[in-house]
Amino acid sequence: MSKSYIPRTTLTVCTNMMLPNPQKLAHAHGSTVLHKSANNQLLNIDDKKLIDAFKCKNPMKFWQGLGSMLMGVAVGILIGAAIVASGGTALLIVAAVVAVGGASCIVAGDLVSHDCDATKQGNWQLYHKTVYIDKKNALLQTSILSCSQGGMVSIVPDPVTAASIASIYAKNNTKEVSTHNGSQMLQGMITGVTTLGSIPAAIISTVLGGGFYIKGENESQDAQQKVLTNAISNQNASLPERTLSGDAEGTLKQEAVNQPAGIATATTEEILDLKKARNTPEALSQQRQAAHFERQAAQQEARAARLAQNGATEQAEIVARRAANSRLAGDIATRSQPKFKWTKWGVGIGVGIAGAVVNFFIENAANQKEDEVFNNVVREFVATKERNESSIQGVNIVGDNN
């Protein structure tokens, strides 16, 4: 059917928009083709810039989610330290550094979300294949701009319709971001608690948690963009429904974060307990006895060797037996020393498993809610595309057979 060409300042909406206000397309190319006035140029595929920002969901969700997770880890570290009454000033410093990093990410998420010049690195689709405006393919009411930051920009010439679509997009995107941030905060807190006052565990859990978050969020954004791309030609496109068994990879990731934290916590506690036990008066006395018997055994063994070398075989045997007795006494004293116990490792592993299981269910529930609101956006995107294809929208300067 016939479709309208598009003049400068035509309204657009974006599937990733956070503000409920449609924005206008700017005129970027040098134009000689106008609509009615010198200030109303017709646009081609080089015109990708928006006059104002939509406030983009993807960078906001990514950075604020990471910041929320780090803030949660910082709080959890302090709670874990309070539970076992350990950690000291060094752990407070670690928690403070993690918290500052989290706060910085949250602020950064708001700042980078306003960068809507990212559309200039995108590409228009569904433009006119044979009509050129200023030597470039003409934009049509059905044209869609795929943004380099993710999301699809649709042209909606009617102000009332554009405002309604923008409101739907912004409402769902805001819900997705807030759900994501809350989930990450809670998961970070649980991970922080599993460190139980251990500085190595706090560092390990923060580094691994941040790394897996970045990988997982990039994969999630890629999956959403694939659905939006598919929705251009498939009106039933949506994210697949999540299942507990299907999210097994998420369980492994949670284990990879929580288990090292739990094991590091248990190891640190065992070392501290061992150091404390070996400094008691009884343990120090046993250490002195063991050292005394070891020296005595060595001296007697050396004497027995000299006697045997000089032919005093009977005396050498007597001294050798004394050396053996001293060696046995030294061994008994050594074995009486406090040893590294492995019992707390079981506790550490158990804490890690518990934290991973709880975090997995939190993540799964949040992902289902996020997928639901994203699919709402996809359905509205498809409806907008179908609306633009069903009737002339715009200035009624139309082209056929595009």
For 227-255, write each residue's pLDDT tens digit: 888 888 887 777 777 666 655 555 555 55
Amino acid 38: pLDDT: 47
Neighbours of 223 (CB within 10 A): 13
- What's the predicted TM-score (pTM) here? 0.74
Query: Binning pLDDT at 50, 70 and 90, where does residue 62 land?
Result: very high
- CA dihedral (234, 238, 239, 241) positive or negative: negative
**195 assigned to some structural domain:** yes
Q: In this predicted structure, what is the pLDDT of residue 374?
A: 93
Mean confidence (pLDDT) of the chain:
78
- Gap between the Cα atoms of 132 and 128, Å rounded: 8
Mean pLDDT on 30-39: 55
Question: If phi over 0 gives left and psi between -120 and 50 gives alpha, with beta otherwise, what is residue 151?
Answer: left
* In the chain, % of residues over pLDDT 90: 18
In a domain, 72, yes or no: yes
Q: 93 lies in a domain? A: yes
pLDDT per residue as tens digits for the range 17-26: 999 999 888 7
Residues 45/136, Cβ–Cβ less than 8 Å: yes
Name the pLDDT band for 340 (thresholds 50, 70, 90).
low
Domains of the chain: total: 1
* Token pair in block for residue 50: 């928006």
Q: How many CB atoms lie within 10 A of CB 153?
A: 25
Can you tell me the mean pLDDT for 92-121? 81
Helices (H), 232-280: 248-278
Confidence grade of residue 373 (pLDDT, cut at 50, 70, 90) = very high
Section 133-158 average pLDDT? 88
For residue 274, name the pLDDT band (cuts at 50, 70, 90).
low
Confidence tier at 361 by pLDDT (50, 70, 90): confident
Could you tell me if residue 359 is inside a domain?
A: yes
Entry field: residues in the chain: 402
Whether 310 maps to a domain, the answer reads: no
Query: Span 92-108, mean pLDDT?
Result: 86
Lowest mean pLDDT among 318-322, 332-336, 368-372: 332-336
Q: Taken in order 31, 33, 37, 42, is the CA torsion positive or negative?
A: negative
Give the residue-averaged pLDDT of 100-121: 80
Chain centroid offset of residue 111 CA: 19
Q: Which structural domain, as residue segments, surrounds residue 260?
A: 3-273+342-392
- Comparing 242-256, 275-289, 318-332, the range with the smallest average pLDDT is 242-256
State yes or no: pLDDT of 49 exceeds 60.
Answer: yes
Estimate the share of the chain in helix, then strand, then coil, as percent rounded to the nearest 5: 65, 10, 25
What is the pLDDT, as a whole number, of residue 244? 61
Of the listed ranges 82-86, 335-339, 353-357, the least confidently predicted one is 335-339
Averaged pLDDT, 206-222: 83
* Gap between the Cα atoms of 359 and 74, Å rounded: 16
Q: Is residue 287 part of a domain?
A: no
Confidence of residue 169 (pLDDT cuts 50, 70, 90): very high
- Measured distance CA(57)–CA(104) in Å, rounded: 18
Nearest to 239 by CA among 222, 252, 227, 251: 227
- Better pLDDT: 278 or 38: 278
Segment 350-357 shows an average pLDDT of: 72
Give the mean pLDDT of 132-137. 86
- For the segment 175-191, the average pLDDT, to the nearest whole number, is 92
Distance, in Å, from the CA atom of 283 to the CA atom of 383, rounded to the nearest integer, reads 78
Q: What is the pLDDT of residue 183?
A: 92
Residues contacting 265, CB < 8 A, separation 6+: 80, 194, 195, 196, 197, 198, 201, 348, 351
> Which two structure tokens, joined as six digits, stand for 15?
């599937």
Q: Considering the domain boundaries, does residue 330 fall inside one?
A: no
Identify whether 159 is part of a domain.
yes
* Nearest residue to 4 (alpha-carbon basis) of 395, 387, 389: 395
What kind and span of H or E run contains 346? helix 343-390
